[in-house]
């Protein structure tokens, strides 16, 4: 039976993004999932149904999930059905993200509970049901996982991502100056080399802006963090300083800069 790479996109993305990964996995079938719902309980059920169908046809399933697609995947109960996961800028603390958005919008919990759903000026709907679900269903993820994180990710703090990686025994690689949305030429090259290194154990180091990540340049490059190694406080502080003052990019509704 063949091996499959399943791609789950983030908000504003599509299954067509899976085409990018075909050259990285030439021996595998690569497909993307275009989910039709946008809540963890509904989208999680969609992802689970898709994986349950695919596991009967493929002996090995590798998951690549982006942003909120990773969060939805972790709510799908598919841990035992996949062999490995690559998470790109995953949302790992949804409760913190929602409460941050409530703060940006000036919405209290009492208001949200009373109204049920509140639209924000930055294009996100705040939902009391969504918040309650998140609080009542903490992430429980056991599949072997590698995480790629940008130091300028404006949705997830370094403390959150490193804490998740440690708790779930996941590998963590940080791209200095990387964003939540990996999309520039340098960022996509970095992403590709990260996957190749992890999947094929390539001997070359990760690169950033065309420079090798050697000890001399390490301060300006990437960080590959093992579970027993932490980025020092100064470097972590720099990552937090790089976040936008308002906590989110102002790219406009419907663009890839949207929060999730």
Sheet holding 60-66, edge to edge: 29-33, 3-8, 60-66, 84-88, 145-150, 171-175, 222-225
This prediction has a pTM of 0.81
- CATH of residue 218's domain is 3.40.50.1820
Nearest 10 degrees: CA dihedral of 15, 20, 26, 28?
-20
120 and 233 assigned to the same domain: no
190 and 64 assigned to the same domain: yes
Residue 201 has a pLDDT of: 63
Which tokens in the block code for residue 201?
């154990």
- Decide: helix, strand or coil at residue 61: strand
Residue at 136 is within a domain: no
197 and 104 assigned to the same domain: no
Residue at 244 is within a domain: no
230 and 187 assigned to the same domain: yes
Residue 200 has a pLDDT of: 75
Helix 158-167 and helix 233-241, axial crossing angle in degrees, nearest 10: 130
82 and 190 assigned to the same domain: yes
Number of domains within the chain: 2
Task: Chunk the chain into consecutive blocks of 10 residues (it has 260) and report each block's average pLDDT, rounded to whole numbers.
Answer: 93 96 96 96 98 95 98 97 98 97 97 98 96 97 97 96 97 96 96 92 48 34 43 44 37 36
Structural domain span for residue 146: 3-92+141-237
Residue 180 has a pLDDT of: 97
State how far the alpha carbon of 103 is from the alpha carbons of 98, 108, 155, 249, in Å: 9, 8, 14, 16
191 and 213 assigned to the same domain: yes
């Amino acid at each position: 039976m063949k091996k499959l790479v399943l791609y789950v996109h983030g908000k504003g993305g599509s299954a067509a993004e899976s085409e990018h990964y075909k050259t990285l996995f030439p021996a595998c079938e690569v497909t993307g999932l275009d989910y039709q719902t946008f809540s963890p309980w509904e989208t999680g059920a969609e992802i689970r149904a898709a994986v349950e169908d695919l596991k009967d046809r493929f002996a090995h399933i590798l998951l690549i999930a982006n942003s909120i697609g990773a969060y939805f995947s972790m709510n799908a109960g598919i841990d035992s059905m996949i062999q490995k996961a690559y998470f790109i800028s995953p949302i790992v603390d949804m409760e913190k993200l929602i409460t941050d958005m409530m703060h940006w919008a000036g919405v209290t919990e009492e208001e949200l509970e009373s109204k049920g759903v509140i639209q924000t000026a930055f294009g996100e709907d705040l939902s009391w049901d969504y918040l309650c679900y998140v609080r009542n269903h903490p992430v429980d993820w056991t599949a072997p996982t590698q995480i790629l994180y940008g130091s300028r990710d404006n949705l997830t703090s370094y403390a959150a991502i490193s804490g998740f990686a440690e708790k779930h025994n996941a590998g963590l690689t940080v791209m200095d100056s990387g964003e939540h949305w990996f999309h520039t030429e340098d960022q996509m090259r970095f992403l590709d080399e990260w996957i190749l290194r992890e999947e094929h154990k390539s001997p070359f180091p990760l690169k950033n802006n065309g420079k090798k990540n050697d000890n001399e340049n390490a301060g300006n490059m990437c960080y590959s963090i093992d579970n027993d190694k932490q980025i020092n406080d100064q470097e972590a502080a720099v990552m937090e300083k790089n976040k936008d003052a308002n906590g989110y990019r102002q790219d406009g509704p419907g663009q890839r800069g949207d929060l999730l």
